Amino acid sequence: MEKKYRAAQTRRQFIQTSFTAAVGLTMVPNLLSGNTLMAEEPVKRQFGKIDFKVTTLGLGGQASIQWTPAGIDPVAIIMKAYGLGINYFDTSNYYGPSQMNYGKAFRQLGLVAGQQNYDEKKRKAIFVTSKTGLRFGKGGDDRKDVHGGTNGPAGSKTIDDVRRTLTQVFGDGTGNYPEAAYLDMVLIHTLSNMGEVDALYEGYDHPDPNATSIGALAALRDVRDGTNRTGLNPKKEKLIHHIGFSGHKDAAVMMEMIQRDTENLIDGMLVAINANDKNFFNMQFNVIPVAAAKNIGIIAMKVFADGAMYTKKAEWSNTPAHVVVQVSSPDLPANQLIRYSLTTPGIHTAIIGIGQISDDPQKCQLTQNLIGAQVKPTELSEADRIAIEALASKSKGGKTNYFQNVYQDLTAPREAKVQIENGGKAHITWHTAYAGDAAIDHYEIWRDGAKVKNIVFAPQTTKTPYTFTDDFGKTTPKQYVVKVVDKKERIAETVPLVV
């Protein structure tokens, strides 16, 4: 009872101080419209097709939880996040001591099965996600440009990573974990090239236990469903509830990952999205709409570009010196960056790593970030979002997203083809265009220099191409062109498809 009371008090203190703290920050108009800050609990959103309502701020597993600067207690950060009502917790097999730090905190919080203080209801009320960087459940060590090997002991594979997380977060840290332990989701982390997608889907439809290599998706499905189709889960353990993936770099690769998932295994996607996104091959008009169309739970990351929006160089973090401990900046308020990511259509929550916490809410990164996250999906206008983009573009000239592919303009519809049938019909097929710095609005079909059809854009969620049948009658056409038009009325078109 004492612990529950103290947690509730912490949340009340957050609510009481949040408005006062927030109004001290520079904000675009209407940034604090609505009553969300006065709620008893933090704002939550339905997490895609997952049966869970997730807080709009999740706790990232890096920053001081991974690279802990002197004088910082990573366990206290996790405890405070839980006390403030945050219910999404992120970590990874990549993140050094991060999983062990979660284990220490979760034991104190009564979230570890088998412990005397374990509370199953409390465990079900949070969502714990870890990650694997491995692309194979079996074999694949010689595959070029693909992670077939290990984050841990030599020969380690995807299911080994799942078990490592369980022992570090919910077990004894040395290989053992209680039978009731589980992870809510495992993400296949930092997908970056098409060869990795090929690897992940090996054995996806019909895994063969005798195959020399089996992709991570088939392996993870076995430990999700308690099956042994791959031969890699002989005890038929159920260790995870959901499967997802993450990506920082290439929206096209991430779209391919989703489109090939004909059995809807993918429940979650972690994606880099911040206010400088449009300066690169963007996520918000390419992969995020595809994931949203399949009702995938979407988690934003790199809201501050891994600290590059502030004091850190635009490079990968790997030391405590890279951890940003400042709360915000008068020139680029953190709450504006958070709200930009959380009002990107499709996003459900944002994970942010924490450098430091404080009893003073004005000086506490965690409290201030949570205040910034109290936002409705449509709360910012397009003008608000453009204003935030303008502010963010001043940080390092807008080139903060070192992890993201370079900008490209709107592309033409891809792999366009035409086939003529007897009876005066032409079947035109194509795959999605990639958006530049504006969303795609529609496609157009042109025959012999004249437009015959406007087709409202919808994200391509499978590998089945878009199709249009033109009933051209008795006059045989000479050529077709497929055009794409974006929201800024810019056009890209295919080469003529000669009949």
Residue 323: which of 301, 303, 308 has the closest Cα?
Answer: 308
DSSP H helical segments within 393-440, as ranges?
none
Give pLDDT, residue 423: 82
Provide the pairing of β-strand 53-55 with 44-46: antiparallel
Whether the CB-CB separation of 490 and 483 falls below 8 Å is answered with: no
Q: How many CA atoms lie within 13 A of 243 on its CB side?
A: 23
- Measured CA angle at 216 (ends 129, 105), to 5 deg: 20
Give pLDDT, residue 39: 47
Tell me the backbone φ, ψ of residue 263, rounded to 5 degrees. -100, 5
Q: Which residue has the tokens 């366009």?
A: 416
Q: How many CA atoms lie within 13 A of 51 on its CB side?
A: 2
Give pLDDT, residue 148: 52
- What is the widest separation between alpha-carbon atoms in the chain? 83
Q: Is 138 helix (H, G, I), strand (E, B) or coil?
A: strand
Regions in the chain scoring below 70 on pLDDT: 1-40, 147-155
Q: How many CA atoms lie within 13 A of 408 on its CB side?
A: 16
Cα gap 35→52, rounded to integer Å: 23
Cα gap 214→207, rounded to integer Å: 7
Whether the CB-CB separation of 65 and 77 falls below 8 Å is answered with: yes
Map out the domains of the chain with their CATH numbers: 2-398 (3.20.20.100), 414-498 (2.60.40.10)
To which H or E segment does residue 74 belong? Answer: helix 74-83
Q: Which conformational region is residue 191 in: left (phi greater than 0), alpha (psi within -120 to 50 degrees), or beta?
A: beta
pTM: 0.92
To which H or E segment does residue 327 belong? Answer: none
pLDDT tens digits for range 371-402: 999 999 999 999 999 999 999 999 999 999 99
Question: Which distant-in-sequence residues (6+ apart) come within 8 Å of 84 by Cβ?
Answer: 10, 11, 14, 42, 366, 367, 370
Whether the CB-CB separation of 229 and 254 falls below 8 Å is answered with: no
Number of Cβ atoms within 10 Å of the Cβ of 348? 26
Residue 234 has which token pair?
A: 């002989």
Which amino acid appears at position 212 of this protein? T
Number of Cβ atoms within 10 Å of the Cβ of 295? 15
Give pLDDT, residue 11: 52
pLDDT tens digits for range 137-170: 999 887 877 865 444 455 578 999 999 999 999 9
Whether the CB-CB separation of 55 and 88 falls below 8 Å is answered with: yes
To which H or E segment does residue 54 belong? Answer: strand 53-55
